[in-house]
Chains A and B, each alone.
Chain A
Amino acid sequence: MKNQILYTLQLSDNALIYGHRLSEWCGHGPILEQDIALTNISLDYLGQARSFYQHAANLFNALPQAEKQGMFLSVALEEKIKKGESIDEDDLAYLRDGWDFRNLLITEQPNGDWATTIARAFYFDTFNYLFYTQLKKSTDLQLAAVAEKSLKEVTYHKRWSAEWVIRLGDGTNESHVKMQTALNDLWPFTGEMFRMTDAEKDMAGNAGVDTAALYDLWLQEVAAVVDEATLKMPEGAWMQDGGKNGRHSEHLGYILAELQFIQRAYPGMEW
């Protein structure tokens, strides 16, 4: 049960942090139409995050009190749990500190320029598409239902980001160089998607997805688009690691400061 909760949190944290990153583009898109495209995608991810957080909270609330304590390191959340209160999606999003977040490092990387945002989206969307295709078959019916709904959204995200990779790569000299640089810079963050945590290994095969097994297909799909975009596949075998186990880049702290400030300063505030 603990692994099922941690696993679900991993998925919700990916969606929340990545969705938040995309929301930072709101009002700053290169043109109105793409500004709306990005905020649409951001809202898709926030919706996914909510569904996963609700599921994680339900699983957690069903645990015996003794098993609840100590699952999180975050003081604000633990205090609530110690009092015997049940937790909800908002508690999980707003009351956990960075070390309790289990999102992939790639999702918290800064937006950078347009090519960087596209490269990050392209790697992550391609992965998510393959991932949800498998999660749809989960024995955890709640996860399967969220995956099925999300797959439609992600199918569009993947098409959107791949088209932009091709447009920029096969565009002007300047856009080509920027796209290649962005693909290279984010490449070390792709390995983590396929390196499985203990929770993932435990869940794989029934309720969860064997992500290591998705790598070949992912590489093939990414390479096909990169090739069509007249770009080169990045090289380098060394990969960043740690997000899924709560070890993050410095960027996450800034995201959480902005994301959580209101609820931390004015607990329980509604609007």
Chain B
Amino acid sequence: MPEQNSNKNEWPLWEVFIRSKAGLDHKHAGSLHAIDANMAIENARDVYTRRMEGVSIWVVESKYIHASDPDSSGALFDPANDKIYRHPTFYDLPDELTHM
């Protein structure tokens, strides 16, 4: 991943993950600038949880995220297209079971 900071005075970029309520996963909410992890969490609290969106915050500096190469997405993901038997759609789920 190329260096995010074009300007050396610019603060590092962080990715923010928010858990909306206990039991659910942390989901990517967006990104922001901060000088360290502490400030990133506080900034995330101010920017992403103002409307009761969350009960927990994770932050990770963007440069530590490694992404798959968009050019190889064909090789990586297309082979799954015709393997419908991998979906659990053949099971009857009780109504009480949510978040599947």
Residue from the set A32, A36, A160, A163 with the largest chain B CB neighbour count within 10 Å: A36
Mark contacts of A151-187 with chain B using CB atoms, 8 A cut-off: 1 yes-contact digit, 0 otherwise: 0000010011001000100000000000000000000
Task: Say yes or no for A69: interface residue by CB 8 A criterion.
Answer: no
Chain A contacts for B39, CB-based, 8 A:
163, 167
Are the C-beta atoms of B43 and A37 separated by less than 8 Å? yes
Are the C-beta atoms of B35 and A167 separated by less than 8 Å? yes
Chain B contacts for A33, CB-based, 8 A:
32-34, 43, 46-47
In the complex, what residue of chain A is closest to B46 when comparing beta carbons?
A: A37
CA distance A31 to B39 in the complex (A): 13
Q: How many residues of A contact B (CB 8 A)?
A: 12
Are the C-beta atoms of B33 and A163 separated by less than 8 Å? no
Interface of A is mostly: helix
CA distance A269 to B32 in the complex (A): 39
28 CB-based A-B contacts, threshold 8 Å: A31-B11, A31-B33, A32-B32, A32-B33, A32-B47, A33-B32, A33-B33, A33-B34, A33-B43, A33-B46, A33-B47, A34-B43, A36-B46, A36-B47, A36-B50, A37-B42, A37-B43, A37-B46, A40-B46, A40-B50, A156-B45, A159-B42, A160-B42, A163-B38, A163-B39, A163-B42, A167-B35, A167-B39
Chain B contacts for A40, CB-based, 8 A:
46, 50
CA distance A156 to B50 in the complex (A): 13
Chain A contacts for B42, CB-based, 8 A:
37, 159-160, 163
**Further pairs besides A33-B33, A33-B47, A163-B39: 7, Cβ < 8 Å:** A32-B32, A33-B32, A34-B43, A36-B50, A37-B43, A163-B38, A167-B35
Chain A contacts for B32, CB-based, 8 A:
32-33
Mark contacts of A22-43 with chain B using CB atoms, 8 A cut-off: 1 yes-contact digit, 0 otherwise: 0000000001111011001000
CA distance A159 to B38 in the complex (A): 11
Residue from the set B39, B42, B45, B46 with the largest chain A CB neighbour count within 10 Å: B46
Shortest CB distance B15–A (Å): 14
Shortest CB distance B71–A (Å): 33
Chain A contacts for B35, CB-based, 8 A:
167
Residue from the set A33, A36, A156, A167 with the largest chain B CB neighbour count within 10 Å: A33
